[in-house]
Amino acid sequence: MLEIFISGGPVMYPLLACSVIVMTVIIERIIFWARVNRHRNQLLVDEVLELCRTGDWELVREKTTGSKDYIIRILITGILHREFSMTRAMESAGAEEIKRMRRYMGVIDTMITVAPLLGIFGTVLGIITSFDVLGTTGIEHPEAVTAGIAQALLTTATGLGIAILSVFPYNYFNSRVENAVLSVEKYATSLEIVYEKLAQGSATQKGNLK
C-alpha cells in the first residue's frame, strides 16, 4: 500500500487528506445519530400530547424534565410559548435541531466532488510527465512511458474510490434528516391541533358560563 501511495505522486497527499476528513465526519455523524436514537422516547411524546389534550401543563413539565429527545424539546418550546406564537416557536426550535443534524454534511458533499477532480488532476500531471519521458528516451523504451501512465491512473482510481465510498453514508445521513423533518412536522402539527381544540373548548365553556 505504501508503494502504491508513493507511486501515485504528490496528488496522493491531498487525496489522503480528503479520505481522512471524510472518515472523521462519517464517524462523528454515526456517533451523533446513535445518540439521537438512544435519546428518542416515543412513549413520552405520545404521553405529552395526551396530557396537552387535558391542559395539564405542570405535569407535562415534570414528565419532560431532563429529556434529550429532540421531538420533546421542540414540543416543549411550543408549549412554553403557547400564549404568544406556538407555531413560530416550534419552527425556530425545529430549525435549530435540523441544523444540528445537517452539520458537516456539506463537508462530505464537497469531498465527493473534490476527490475525483484531484484524481483526474493527478492523472493529467502523470501523463504530462510520461510524455516528457517519451521525449527524452524516445520510442525505444515504451515501458517507461506506459509505467508512468499506469502510475498516473492511480490517482483517478483513488479519487473515484473516495467519492464512491462517501456517497453511501452521505445519502443515508440525508435520509435520516428528511425523516426527522417529517417527524417534527407531524408532532408539531399534532400539538397545534390539540392546543386549538383545548382553546376552543375553554372559550366555549366560558361562553356557556356567561
C-alpha cell at 58: 405542570
| Per-residue pLDDT tens digits for 86-115 | 889 999 999 999 999 999 999 999 999 999
> Which set of grid coordinates corresponds to residue 34?
446513535
Tell me the average pLDDT across 127-152: 67
Nearest to 126 by CA among 8, 3, 4, 2: 8
In this model, does residue 202 exceed pLDDT 70?
A: no
- Residue 200 vs residue 13, higher pLDDT: 13
For residue 173, give every residue at least 6 positions away whose Cβ sits within 8 Å of its Cβ, in sequence order, or none.
29, 33, 105, 108
In which band, very low, low, confident or very high, does the pLDDT at 209 lie, cut at 50, 70 and 90?
Answer: very low
Distance CA 201, CA 197 (A): 6
Local confidence band at 204 (pLDDT 50, 70, 90 cut-offs): low
Q: Of the ranges 13-27, 56-70, 136-150, 184-198, which is most confident?
A: 13-27
Which is it for the CA torsion 59, 65, 69, 75, positive or negative?
A: positive
Query: What's residue 19's pLDDT?
Result: 95
Q: Where are the domains of the chain?
A: 14-202
Whose cell is 464512491? That residue is: 164
